[in-house]
Amino acid sequence: MKNKTTAAFLSLILGVFGVQFFYVGRIGLGIFMNMLTFFAGKPQIAAFVGFVNFILFLVMSQNDFDKKYNKQQWKEQQRQGNDYQAQQEAQRQAQQEAQQRAQYEAQQNREARARMRPTAPPQYQKPQKQNKPSISQKESLKQSALAKFKDFDYQGAIDDFGKALAIEPTDLAVHWNLACCYSLTEQKELAFYHLQKSVELGFKDYDKIKSHEALAFLRVQSEFETFARNGFKMTEEMEHSDILQQLKDLTQRREHGLLTEKEFAEMSRKLTE
C-alpha cells in the first residue's frame, strides 16, 4: 500500500529522476522524467515537476490519495463503510417494523374487543387489513435496495428505493438513501432534491451530510455551499432544473389520482436513465 508521505518525500529528494512516479505505479511518467533528465538535458524542469508533485502530495487528502493510488484498499474501505451503513439501516428498519407490528397488533386487539359489543362498527377492520401488505412490500423493497447499494449496484438500488417511495412518499430513510445513490451516480439535481426532502421530514444529522462519503460528489458542487447556508434547502434557481420540474409534475399527477403508484414509479425511474 502506497504511503502519501513517502511519495511526497521521494518527489522532493529524487523528483528529478521521477522516482515518485515509479513508487505510485505511474511507470510511464517515471520513464519520461528520466528521459527529460538524461536525454533531453532538462534536469531543472524535472526537478521543478518533482517539487510540484511534492506540494500536491502534501495537500492531497488521504482519501483522495488512496482513491487514486491505492484503489483496491480504497474500494475495500468503501465496502466496509457501506456494510456498516447497511447494518445500521437494517437495525433502524427492524425497530420501525417491530413498532409498526406492535401498533398493528394493538389495533387488532382493540377491534376484536369492539366487535364483542353490539354496536361495534365492523368496517373499521378492513383498512387495517390493507395496511399490512403495503408495509411488508415496502420493507422488502428497501432491504433489496440496501443489498444492491452494498454491491455497488446503485442504479438497481435507485429503482427499488423509488418503488418503496411510491408506497410511502414520506419515508425519511428512503429519501436519504436516494440522495446518496444519486450523488454516487453524479445526478446532482435529484441528489439535492431527495436530501432536501429527508431534512424536511426530520433528518437532523447535519454533520453526517457534511462528511458522509456517499455525498462527496454533491459537496464539491458549486451549489452545495448555498444549499447548506439555506438550511439544506434548494434555492429557486436550483428548483427550476428540467429533471426536478418533471419530477414535481409526476408527483402532482399522482396526488391528484392521474397516475397509479406503479406508473409513477416507472416514469420516475425513466428520469434517471
pLDDT in tens, the chain (273 residues): 888 888 778 878 887 787 878 888 888 887 888 887 777 777 888 788 878 888 888 888 888 888 878 878 888 888 887 777 778 888 888 888 888 888 888 888 888 777 766 554 545 444 444 444 466 888 898 899 899 999 999 888 888 888 888 888 889 899 899 889 988 998 888 888 888 899 999 998 999 999 999 999 989 898 899 889 988 888 877 766 666 667 777 677 767 776 676 676 777 666 655
Cell of 91: 437495525
Specify the pLDDT at position 242: 64
Q: How confident is the model at residue 124, as a pLDDT? A: 46
pTM of the model: 0.45
Residue 245 confidence (pLDDT) = 67
- 133: amino acid identity, one letter: P
Cite the DSSP H helix spans in 116-124: none
Going by C-beta distance under 8 Å and a sequence separation of 6 or more, which residues neighbour residue 11? 20, 50, 51, 53, 54, 57
Contact between 182 and 161 under an 8 Å Cβ cutoff? The reply is no
For 156, half-sphere exposure in the C-beta direction (CA atoms, 13 angstrom radius) is: 11
pLDDT for the residue numbered 212 = 92
Say which DSSP state 71 is in: H
- Distances in Å between the Cα of 227 and the Cα atoms of 20, 40, 79, 161, 195 are 39, 51, 28, 24, 10
Confidence (pLDDT) at 35: 83
CB 128 within 8 A of CB 107: yes
* pLDDT number for residue 273: 58
